[in-house]
């Protein structure tokens, strides 16, 4: 969270990317490692071993990575050279995830390159059903070396961490046999997004917000997430999980925790984690009536594919692609304030935001019958076009007294004339620096599953049908 070039250790590091041929590896992990490399934030002696089943030779693999590398942090004139230098550190081993010989081949390749070290990061960029078996295969091949460190080797696991509290516990217990908690980094990449990282700073480094941050002044809080595309290539995964597990239990619950938690004792990982856990444990699991679920269909749109007609999705799938959940927090600060979390694919736009609606002025001298004006709103727009803005009522210039709603607007692009890092740049650097503040602790994961497991079970067991909505629907227009 606090990258400090001076603090980057010069000790050699080996990164092993499981599922190196996949979407996440190619579009996020390698480009972010390249960004860190260009900024001098990788140690001088680093190497990256990709592992997957696809049968690439070294040059084909490097070419497939190179397609997605961008020169965000390298001057255009030297970019080609930087890419060539970076690719020279990238190796590839093709093998099967369930063949021990393949992992021995990986070990042999690392040794042959003289990159054997205790300082290894294993990145699990593979489908979740492979996490456990691959972790065991890594250990069986001798790749996990017990050394003098209690924080090396490190494993990075992508969400989803299980399907509910029970499966999450089982996965954690199994992985803990190989990688203790101190070596496990559970990624929720929304925590690496710039505006999400700013939430704590806005709340706790400005005197004006915290006194108002409670049920006396706040009417409601909405956390909204929209995508204007369908499930794309991830149909098999998505149909097994649905939008509540995919986005709400993870990304939106984390944004909620950061925006509603009490002030942590410090900004250190343990204190922030404690504050988030306490908040998540105060949330009342929603009843089925507090949850709306939907699924995109073609509706009146001529182009586009209904969810049930997407390749890989059963024609009678009941998986929710949209959900809206009303949550209540049972503590002194928030009792009575609704927190409305909504997420959907196949909607009208791509955006995610936190919107805090304050109560209107109780005795407004500018209105005959108050409340005549809406309350202020503070919006943290996470994407696209990162911004923080506050709507306020002010007087329109002129001889008459006319009140109008305006924005105090902090637009990142115009205010901070700098490249906004990708979430994975920040998170991968944190893994290397052993900064755990943006990663999910086991007790945090438990608390998040405890909120959503009962309603997910109800939806699964009752066979509840999602309401169909047309592609391009705007839930906020209703």
Q: Is 251 a catalytic residue?
A: yes
Name the catalytic one among 115, 136, 149, 251: 251
Residues numbered 179-198 forming contacts with ligand BG6, rule: CB under 6 A: 189
Nearer Cβ to ligand BG6, position 186 or 189? 189
Which of ligand NDP, ligand BG6, none is residue 97 near (CB under 5 to 8 Å by kind)? ligand NDP
Instruction: Pick out residues in 213-242 that bind ligand BG6 (CB under 6 A).
Output: 227
Tell me if 386 contacts ligand BG6 by CB under 6 A.
no
Residue 454 binds which one of ligand NDP, ligand BG6, none, with CB within 5 to 8 A depending on kind?
A: none
What is the spatial distance between Cα 345 and Cα 414, in angstroms, rounded to a whole number? 29
The answer to whether 92 touches 63, Cβ cutoff 8 Å, is no
Residue (of 165, 167, 314, 341) closest to 252 by Cα position = 341
Name the DSSP letter for residue 439: B
Are the C-beta atoms of residues 96 and 53 closer than 8 Å to each other?
Answer: yes
Alpha-carbon distance values, 45 to 1, 14, 101, 348, 462 (Å):
23, 9, 27, 46, 55
Q: Specify which residues 353 forms β-bridges with.
A: 224, 381
Minimum distance from CB of 160 to ligand BG6 (Å)?
8
* Pairing of β 218-226 and β 322-329: unpaired
Measured between alpha carbons, how far is 398 from 403 in angstroms, rounded to an integer?
A: 11
Which candidate, 186, 147, 115, places its Cα nearest to that of 437? 186
Q: How far is the CB of 189 from ligand BG6 (least distance, A)?
A: 6
Q: Name, in order, each residue with C-beta under 8 angstroms of 163's C-beta and a sequence gap of 6 or more.
A: 240, 241, 245, 456
Q: Which residues on neighbouring strands pair with residue 439, listed in sequence order? A: 187
Q: Indicate the residue among 31 and 153 with the shorter CB distance to ligand NDP.
A: 31
Residue 94: CB minimum distance to ligand NDP, A? 8
- Candidates 239, 246, 274, 444: give the one binding ligand BG6 (CB under 6 A): 246
246 interacts with, out of ligand BG6, ligand NDP, none, CB within 5 to 8 A per kind: ligand BG6
Nearer to ligand NDP, 28 or 119 (CB): 28
Residue 337 vs 343, nearer CB to ligand NDP: 343
Measured from the CB atom, the residue of 19 and 162 that comes closer to ligand NDP is 19
Q: Could you give the CA distance from residue 426 to residue 74 in angstroms, rounded to a whole number?
A: 17
Q: Structure tokens of 411?
A: 């637009």
Distance in Å, CB of 125 to ligand NDP, minimum:
5
Residue with structure tokens 């939907």?
294
| Binding-site size, ligand BG6 (CB under 6 A) | 3
* Class of residue 88 by CB neighbours under 10 A (exposed 0-12, middle 13-18, buried 19+): exposed
What part of residues 86-145 is at the interface with ligand NDP (CB under 6 A)?
97, 125-128
Interface with ligand NDP in residues 19-38 (CB under 6 A): 19, 21-25
- The answer to whether residue 430 forms part of the interface with ligand BG6 (CB under 6 A) is no
Q: Can you tell me which of 2, 53, 111, 263 binds ligand NDP, judged by CB under 6 A? A: 53
Select the residue whose beta carbon is closest to ligand BG6 and give its number. Answer: 246
Please give the biggest Cα pair distance in the chain: 83
Beta bridge partners of residue 220, listed in sequence order: 357
What does the per-residue mask of binding to ligand NDP show for 223-262, with x meaning CB under 6 A?
--------------x-------------------------
* Cβ within 8 Å of residue 107, ≥6 positions away: 141, 142, 143
Nearest alpha carbon to residue 126 among 171, 159, 104, 80: 159
| Position closest to ligand NDP via CB | 22
What is the binding site for ligand BG6 (CB under 6 A)?
Answer: 189, 227, 246
Q: Would you tell me which residues interact with ligand NDP (CB under 6 A)?
A: 19, 21-25, 52-54, 97, 125-128, 158-159, 237
Q: Which residues are catalytic?
A: 251
């Amino acid at each position: 969270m606090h990258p400090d070039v001076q603090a980057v250790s010069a000790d050699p590091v080996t990164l092993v990317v499981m599922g190196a041929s996949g979407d996440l590896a190619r579009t996020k992990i390698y480009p972010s490692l390249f960004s860190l490399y260009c900024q001098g934030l990788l140690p001088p002696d680093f190497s990256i071993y990709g592992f997957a089943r696809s049968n690439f030779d070294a040059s084909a693999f490097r070419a497939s990575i190179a397609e997605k590398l961008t020169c965000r942090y390298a001057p255009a004139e030297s970019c080609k050279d930087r890419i060539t230098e970076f690719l020279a550190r990238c190796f590839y081993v093709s093998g099967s995830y369930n063949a021990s010989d393949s992992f021995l081949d990986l070990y042999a390749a690392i040794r042959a390159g003289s990159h054997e070290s205790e300082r290894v990061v294993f990145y699990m960029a593979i489908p979740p059903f492979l996490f456990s078996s691959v972790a065991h295969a890594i250990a069986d091949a001798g790749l996990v070396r017990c050394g003098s460190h209690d924080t090396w080797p490190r494993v990075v696991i992508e969400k989803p961490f299980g399907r509910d509290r029970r499966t999450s516990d089982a996965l954690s217990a199994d992985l803990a046999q190989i990688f203790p908690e101190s070596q496990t980094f559970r990624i929720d990449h929304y925590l690496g997004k710039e505006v999400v990282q700013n939430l704590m700073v806005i709340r706790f480094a400005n005197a004006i917000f915290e006194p108002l941050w409670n049920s006396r002044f706040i009417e409601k809080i909405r956390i909204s997430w929209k995508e204007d595309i369908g499930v794309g290539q991830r149909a098999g995964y998505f149909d097994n999980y649905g939008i509540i597990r995919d986005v709400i239990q993870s990304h939106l619950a984390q944004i909620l925790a950061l925006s509603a938690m009490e002030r942590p004792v410090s900004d250190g990982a343990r204190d922030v984690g404690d504050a988030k856990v306490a908040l998540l444990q105060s949330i009342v699991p929603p009843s089925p009536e507090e949850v709306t679920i939907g699924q995109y269909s073609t509706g009146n749109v001529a182009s586009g594919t209904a969810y049930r007609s997407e390749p890989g999705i059963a024609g009678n799938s009941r998986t929710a692609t949209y959900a809206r959940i009303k949550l209540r927090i049972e503590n002194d600060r928030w009792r009575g304030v609704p927190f409305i979390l909504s997420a959907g694919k196949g909607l009208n736009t791509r955006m995610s935001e936190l919107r805090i609606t304050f109560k209107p002025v109780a005795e407004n001298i500018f209105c005959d019958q108050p409340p005549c004006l809406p309350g202020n709103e503070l919006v943290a727009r996470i994407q696209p076009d990162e911004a923080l803005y506050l709507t306020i009522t002010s007087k329109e210039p002129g001889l008459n007294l006319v009140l109008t709603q305006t924005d105090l607007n902090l637009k990142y692009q115009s205010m901070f004339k700098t490249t906004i890092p990708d979430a994975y740049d920040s998170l991968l650097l944190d893994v290397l620096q052993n900064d755990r503040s943006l990663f999910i602790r086991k007790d945090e994961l438990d608390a998040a599953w405890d909120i959503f497991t009962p309603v997910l079970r109800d939806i699964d067991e009752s066979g509840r049908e999602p309401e169909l909505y047309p592609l391009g629907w705007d839930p906020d227009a209703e």
